[in-house]
């Protein structure tokens, strides 16, 4: 970025410093007390009306236009991940075992930049609600904010979010109408049998053999049982059993995840996981206890809102740098819960190429690209203004 303190109404240097401060002081889900305080103070300094404690540690800012009108929400997530930062950067995490490995520090900076733009020029009809959400990373902060009456208290009619994506060119935008991100469910499977000496396997069901068969059988769901045009994955990521080499253990514990880009496929996956577990239990003489927990639904963009995102982004970076019908990906987002309640859209902004110095998300080498704060802030401010105009 150029050494300018302000670009397009955004204090670029100040936001870069703030983003790096948040990066250096990461906080996990529902523990974002310092982060929330920094954000609230920054908003108040911009003359924004602030409410704290929504959904636990959530922060909500309100910017009213010069005349009454509809209300549009903009959302950024605040929480970090339980990952140890790998590279020694000046702004590296100062909290052992915790880092901003997904760019939520940058998302907050972009939304604060949008607050600068909108707060400085309120020549619009309606209200913009800035939603700084806790606990996106698997802890469902969005439902917590909804349960606290976020939509009703602030009258939000549409909502928009923006997430950085490493591997997309720096500052490019991508969005799609319909399902953008996957559903996310947890599998927890316990296999049990009598257990016994390894010399006499015929006297007990073997939970290790059964578990191995179960892992293999579960892979046939995506490969052979689902519509191959629907992206989906069933992954067993943990298999724990046994403590020595001459005992068939009485218990094995498997954990994993199921993700897909279709509500119908999600139902089918859950049904098939149950059938396969029962079949393995019968064929191997073991007991199987399955806990299938539905976590996040698919993130489904309202088509008109997705088209609006593409038009607004094209006005900022040019149409050649906007993919208006990008492929859906199997990551999951609890922004999906907002979109189950009201229209809106979730978009991507490119974080630039993946390198040794700037890795993929959820990776110890990840870092947010500060050069996309300014275009991200401009986009968020512009999509709010355009949505207010279209809703009026």
**Catalytic annotation, residues:** 79, 136
- 238 has which bridge partners? 255
Widest Cα–Cα separation across the chain? 82
- Dump the DSSP string for 139-180: S-HHHHHHHTTHHHHHT--EEEEEEEETTSPTT-EE--SEEE
Cα distances (angstroms) measured from residue 223 to each of 6, 186, 267: 52, 19, 16
Cα(260)–Cα(237) distance, integer angstroms: 17
Kindly state the tokens that stand for 321.
């740098």
Cα(390)–Cα(373) distance, integer angstroms: 26
Which residues lie below 8 Å from residue 275, measured CB to CB, with a gap of 6+?
none
Alpha-helical (H) ranges within 155-291 are 207-220, 263-284
Cα distances (angstroms) measured from residue 46 to each of 11, 65, 150, 322: 12, 14, 22, 31
Which residues lie below 8 Å from residue 11, measured CB to CB, with a gap of 6+?
5, 113, 116
Cα(168)–Cα(330) distance, integer angstroms: 16
Backbone φ and ψ of 130, nearest 5°: -95, 115
Q: Give yes or no for a contact between 82 and 89, defined as CB atoms under 8 angstroms apart.
A: no
**Strands 49-54 and 58-64: what pairing?**
antiparallel
Binding-site residues from annotation: 102, 104, 137, 163, 362
Binding-site residues from annotation for Mn(2+): 102, 104, 137, 163, 362
């Amino acid at each position: 970025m150029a050494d300018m303190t302000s670009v397009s109404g955004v204090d670029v240097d100040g936001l870069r410093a703030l983003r790096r401060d948040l990066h250096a002081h990461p906080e996990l889900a529902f523990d974002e007390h310092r982060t929330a305080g920094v954000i609230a103070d920054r908003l108040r300094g911009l003359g924004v009306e602030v409410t704290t404690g929504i959904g636990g540690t959530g922060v909500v800012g309100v910017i009213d236009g010069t005349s009454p009108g509809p209300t549009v929400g903009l959302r950024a997530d605040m929480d970090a991940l339980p990952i140890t930062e790998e590279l020694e950067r000046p702004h590296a995490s100062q909290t052992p075992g915790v880092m901003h490995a997904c760019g939520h520090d940058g998302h907050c900076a972009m939304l604060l930049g949008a607050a600068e733009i909108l707060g400085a020029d309120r020549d619009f009809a309606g209200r913009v609600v800035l939603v700084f959400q806790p606990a996106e990373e698997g802890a469902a902060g969005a439902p917590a904010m909804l349960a606290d009456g976020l939509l009703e208290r602030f009258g939000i009619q549409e909502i928009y979010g923006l997430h950085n994506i490493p591997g997309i060119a720096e500052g490019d935008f991508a969005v799609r109408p319909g399902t953008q991100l996957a559903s996310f469910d947890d599998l927890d499977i316990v296999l049990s049998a009598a257990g016994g000496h390894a010399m006499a396997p015929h006297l007990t069901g073997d939970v290790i053999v059964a578990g191995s068969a179960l892992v293999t059988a579960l892979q046939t769901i995506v490969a052979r049982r689902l519509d191959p045009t629907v992206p989906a994955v069933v992954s067993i990521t943990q298999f724990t059993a046994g403590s020595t080499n001459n005992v068939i253990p009485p218990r094995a514990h498997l954990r994993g995840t199921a993700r897909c880009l279709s509500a119908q496929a999600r139902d089918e996956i859950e049904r098939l996981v149950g059938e396969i577990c029962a079949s393995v239990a019968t064929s191997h003489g073991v007991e199987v206890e399955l806990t299938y927990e539905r976590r996040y639904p698919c993130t489904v963009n309202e088509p008109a809102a997705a088209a609006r995102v593409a038009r607004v982004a094209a006005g900022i970076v040019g149409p050649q740098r906007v993919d208006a019908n990008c492929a859906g990906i199997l990551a999951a987002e609890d922004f999906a819960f907002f979109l189950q309640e009201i229209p809106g859209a979730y978009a991507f902004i490119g974080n630039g190429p993946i390198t040794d110095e700037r890795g993929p998300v959820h990776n110890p080498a990840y870092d947010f690209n500060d050069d996309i704060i300014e275009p991200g802030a401009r986009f968020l401010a512009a999509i709010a203004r355009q949505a207010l105009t279209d809703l009026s």
